[in-house]
Amino acid sequence: MEEKRSIGDGVWYLVLLAWSATILFPIIWIFYGSLKTNREFFQDVWQFPETLNWVNYSKAWNEYGLGDSLLSTLYYVGASLVIGTLLTALNAYVLTRVEFRGRKLIWGTIMLSLFLPGINALVPQYILMRDLHLTNSLTGLVILDSIGENVFFLMLLAGFMQSLPKEVEESAFLDGASLTRVFVSIMLPLSMPGIVTVAIFKFLGLYNNFLGPFIYLSDPNKYTIGVAMYQAGLKMQFSADWVTLMAGVSIAMIPSVLIFVFFQRWIMEGATLGAVKG
């Protein structure tokens, strides 16, 4: 029995090693490719660079406007993250802890939206944004992504809040606390592990969001990092400066990699948060 278990563990280790390699290898290849010259890259894409050409990074930063793009991305992601996470926590609290008529109907409608492709709302959404004069505006993009609730995040946080004991709320109500006071002073601190997990997933989704900024932003000075890198990729049709593009991609990957490195425990726990505690 122990021999079968050791063989099974060995197979899982090999699968995990192969899975890790498929993720890490492209990142490593892009990084050392960004340190080559174009001549070295076209001679042999697998060969290591003879000297480290860090000038490719300054070139990518200046030519592709990554500085302005990172500032735009910081504003867009930061504002959307704070407002959107707060609204998700508020919605989850109301739908799981507050009794009111029509709550089950609202939940059913939310569950139904899981089966509807989000692309169907793209045209009416754009018309609404245009009529409200919110196109080509980072603030308009923040409003759109903050108010637009993600059903997965709502279900994740709602499952966590449902597991919290009701006695804490009932004691606060008996002491005369209002609904707002209970939410701010009790539910938010108790739900912080779930909120942090949702915030991490929201950050990754917002930072890697390409379609929204690509559709609603037309001013190059307002481009987020994803759109800026897309425009840089288009330039490769006329100038094959792939090492500079790789340097830009490496810069663009830094925030996501840092988030994963420092918050990987939260990400792993958050993958099963709602299922375990819901």
DSSP alpha helix (H) spans, the chain: 2-33, 38-43, 55-63, 66-97, 103-113, 122-131, 138-147, 151-162, 166-174, 179-182, 188-190, 192-207, 211-216, 225-235, 242-270, 273-277
- Are 219 and 65 spatial neighbours (Cβ–Cβ below 8 Å)? no
Given this model, what pLDDT does residue 269 score? Answer: 61
The CA distance from 193 to 53, in Å, is 43
The dihedrals phi and psi of 175, each to the nearest 5 degrees, come to -80, 0
Given this model, what pLDDT does residue 9 score? Answer: 57
Q: How far is CA 225 from the centre of its chain?
A: 13
The CA distance from 278 to 275, in Å, is 5
Three-state secondary-structure class, residue 220:
helix
The CA distance from 191 to 160, in Å, is 7
98: left (phi over 0), alpha (psi -120 to 50) or beta: beta
Structure tokens at 161: 């809040």
The CA distance from 52 to 29, in Å, is 14
> Which residues have CB under 8 Å from 148's CB, separation 6+?
none
- Are 174 and 40 spatial neighbours (Cβ–Cβ below 8 Å)? no
Q: Nearest to residue 207, comparing CAs of 40, 113, 72?
A: 72
Q: Which residue has the tokens 């420092």?
A: 262
Task: Return per-residue pLDDT of the chain as tens, 278 residues.
Answer: 444 445 555 566 676 666 666 777 888 888 988 999 988 888 888 888 888 889 999 998 988 888 899 999 999 999 999 999 999 999 999 888 888 888 888 888 888 877 877 778 888 889 999 999 999 999 999 999 998 878 888 888 888 888 888 888 888 888 888 888 888 888 888 888 889 889 988 998 999 999 999 999 999 999 999 999 999 888 888 878 889 999 999 999 888 888 877 877 766 665 555 444 44
The CA distance from 34 to 13, in Å, is 31
For the chain, the straight-line distance linking the first and the last C-alpha, in angstroms and rounded, comes to 35
Given this model, what pLDDT does residue 20 score? Answer: 64
Given this model, what pLDDT does residue 277 score? Answer: 43
